[in-house]
Chain A
Amino acid sequence: MREVVVRIENLHFSYDNEVEVLKGIDLEIRRGEIVSIMGENGAGKTTLIKHLNGLLKPRKGRVEVLGMDTRTTPVAKLARHVGMVFQNPDFQLFAETVENELLLALKNFGFPPDVAKRRAIWAMKIFGLERYKDRSPYTLSIGERKRLCIAAVLCYDPDIIVLDEPTSGQDFLQKEKIMEILYLLKQQGKTVILVTHDVEFVVRRSDRVVIMCDGKILADGSTREVLGNIEILRAARLKPPQIVETAHILYSKGLLDSQHVPLTPYELAREITGE
């Protein structure tokens, strides 16, 4: 197994010292994993990921990223290793033009100008943003602004990439593109942490699913173990993937064996034809 890049031990957090938002989180994430954190609104998902680059510090417990304790490491240093894309793109766009937005972080992290320029062009290319190079980020659609935020993070090559709802507002082809890029990042040994409601996206690309409910981790396992378990999904008030729901109806009627839960259309077809 590859090394642990994120180690969270007994993490407790509250914004106001009264209501605990995180109530004892233990989580280890290894290099090269694609992990999806799911759970209904208010479960504590966004609060949890804000601990990964030190934006929030534990009230109790410990968060260690690449061996650095987030309580004692400056946010600027953590940010170089943990790229964070928030749910609302407008909170992280500052520059006058799309190209400058990408160059900003590169310059901050000390990339030489020619390297920065090449990386910015590469990032615009993979996200279909080249034609907006000289436009203000605010003239782009929400989906485009979101892709710009992802591009701005990938550009400076962090080890860990954290994305909050990367697929919201994206059309089908853009979602496919994002999926492909996440897979490439994994191949390069990057670690990808997603917060998402998009169960159909997760079922296709995630290695592992962590379900949060009321500030705690309710389930943590392979995508198959977690999303294939309709009881867990019900307890977390999440919608199952369409194929899992279909299979569950068939089990309840005694038409399929519940030993093998299909996650994809192809797996469902195999269960039915017995091939």
Chain B
Amino acid sequence: MELAELSAVSFRYQGSADYALRDITFTLKEGEYVLLTGPSGCGKSTLCRILNGLIPHFYRGELRGEARVAGYDVRSTPTYVLARHVGMVFQNPENQLFLSSVERELAFGLENLGVSESEIERRVKWALEFFNLVELKDRPPYMLSGGQQQKVAIASVVVMEPEILVLDEPTANLDPVSAEEILSLLDTLRKEKNIGILLVEHRLEIALKCADKLVIMQDGRIVEEGDPRSVLLSKHTSIIGVPPVVEAHKVLSGKGIDLGAIPLTPHELASAIERVMRRERGSG
């Protein structure tokens, strides 16, 4: 089922002459993990803001086309309604965390929604376990490391049980090990809960391996989208760069060595090379 459906959407911020989004058609399905990338200023964050209704309700401007999220028309639905269906996580978790303990932070949104006490307890307990935060539950978020803070920020959104999770460069300030931990938790989450995930990220070498779909934006347009392995062959990779394993695949194909499908990880590249080498040794 389509969780989000944008069709021919264009948007221009009030006071700006140029369109930030131009004729965007985009869908996000249940349980789908979409990786969105593109140069700074290409419209990625603007697209995220439409999905949770910040556009057009908070950021004013001219919105054209159709935008439906979780079955609601974004134009006529207040953001507090959309917020129950779409969770947002940003680059800097500090801006999202303000309570005295991790546990309080996770319960806060649910208390505001008037969820019953037993239900709050159940969901918070689940989230603490799922995100490996049990031992930190009484600590104030500002005392935690960046990676731990970002897990708290994501957990505090996930307890609301949204159908869609939109993450705008959530790991930009984290070390690679913490970043990978968070991205693989997101992957488990969408498989277990069937949540649709839209992840904005520049570092493909970290983010690529779980994505079902890779979308490249440039100048407010979607210029490429589809299976990551085929998108990585397109000419638009010149604006986003490709991970070294993909580069190696291209160099080797240039030398006439056919490694098959584009690898997304070192393991995939090594297996492809192993197949070719064993085949050559076998025949030689």
Question: Contacting chain B: which of A8-16, A47-55, A263-271?
Answer: A263-271
Q: CB < 8 Å: which of A40, A197, A249, A266 contacts B251? A: A266
Q: Is the CB of A142 within 8 A of B172?
A: yes
Q: B122-141: which have CB < 8 Å to A?
A: none
- Among residues 177 to 235 in chain B, which have CB atoms less than 8 Å away from a CB atom of chain A? 177-178, 180, 202, 205
- Residue contact B257 to A197, C-beta cutoff 8 Å: no
CB-CB < 8 A to A174: which residues of B?
A: 39-40
User: Is the CB–CB distance between B244 and A250 below 8 Å?
Assistant: no
> Of A40, A169, A249, which contacts B175 at CB under 8 A?
A40
Asked whether A246 lies within 8 Å of B273 as measured between CB atoms, the reply is yes
Binds A, one of B13-21, B60-68, B72-80, B263-271: B263-271
- Given A169-B91, A246-B266, does the pair A268, B248 have CB atoms closer than 8 Å? yes
Contacts of A173 in B (CB 8 A): 39, 239, 241
From known contacts A169-B169, A171-B40, A173-B239, infer whether A250 and B273 are also in contact, taking CB-CB under 8 Å.
Answer: yes
C-alpha gap A199/B180 in the complex (Å): 14
Q: How far is the CB of A242 from chain B (nearest CB, A)?
A: 4
B240 interfacial by beta-carbon distance below 8 Å = yes
Q: CB of B162 within 8 A of chain A?
A: no
Given A168-B173, A246-B248, A249-B267, also A269-B274 (CB < 8 A): no
A239 with B177: CB separation less than 8 A: yes
In chain A, residues 126-180, which have Cβ atoms closer than 8 Å to a Cβ of chain B? 141-144, 165, 168-176
Do residues B176 and A172 form an inter-chain contact, with CB atoms below 8 A?
no
Q: Are A41 and B91 in contact (CB under 8 A)?
A: no
Q: How far is the CA of A174 from the CA of B203 in the complex (A)?
A: 13
A172 touches B244 (CB 8 A): no
Among residues of A, the one whose C-beta sits closest to the C-beta of B249 is: A265
Most B CB contacts (10 A, CB to CB) among A175, A238, A241, A255 go to A255
Interface size on B, residues (CB 8 A): 40
Give the interface size class of chain A: 35 or more
**Interface hub of A42, A173, A237 (most chain B Cβ within 10 A):** A173
Q: Which of chain B's residues have a CB closer than 8 A to the CB of A242?
A: 205, 243-245, 265-266, 269
A200–B202 Cα distance when bound, in Å, is 13
- Among A141, A172, A249, A273, find the residue whose CB has the most chain B CB atoms closer than 10 A: A172
B176 A239 Cβ-Cβ under 8 A: yes
Residues of chain A with a CB closer than 8 A to B244's CB? 200, 241-243, 264-265
- List residues of chain A with CB within 8 A of the CB of B205: 200, 242
Contact with B along A15-53 (1 / 0, CB 8 A): 000000000000000000000000011100000000000
Q: Which residue of A lies closest to B259 (CB)?
A: A272
Question: B263 to chain A: closest CB distance in Å?
Answer: 9
User: Contact: A246 with B270, CB < 8 Å?
Assistant: yes
CB distance from B262 to the nearest CB of A (A): 13
> What is the bound-complex CA distance between A12 and B92, given in angstroms?
32
Q: Is B81 an interface residue (CB 8 A)?
A: no
- With A250-B273, A272-B273, A273-B257 already in contact, the answer to whether A170 and B202 are too (CB < 8 A) is yes
B247 touches A141 (CB 8 A): no
With an 8 A cutoff between CB atoms, is A253 at the interface? yes
* Residue in chain A with minimal CB distance to B42: A171
User: In the bound complex, do residue B248 and residue A172 qualify as a contact, i.e. CB atoms below 8 Å apart?
Assistant: no
Pick 8 A–B contacts, CB within 8 A, sort by A: A170-B202, A171-B40, A175-B241, A238-B176, A243-B248, A246-B270, A272-B277, A275-B255
B residues near A, CB below 8 A? 38-41, 91-92, 145-147, 169, 172-173, 175-178, 180, 202, 205, 239-241, 243-245, 247-248, 250-252, 255, 257, 265-267, 269-270, 273-274, 277
Known A-B contacts: A245-B266, A250-B273. Give 15 more (CB < 8 A). Answer: A41-B147, A169-B169, A173-B239, A174-B40, A200-B205, A239-B176, A242-B205, A242-B265, A264-B244, A265-B245, A265-B250, A266-B251, A268-B251, A269-B252, A272-B252
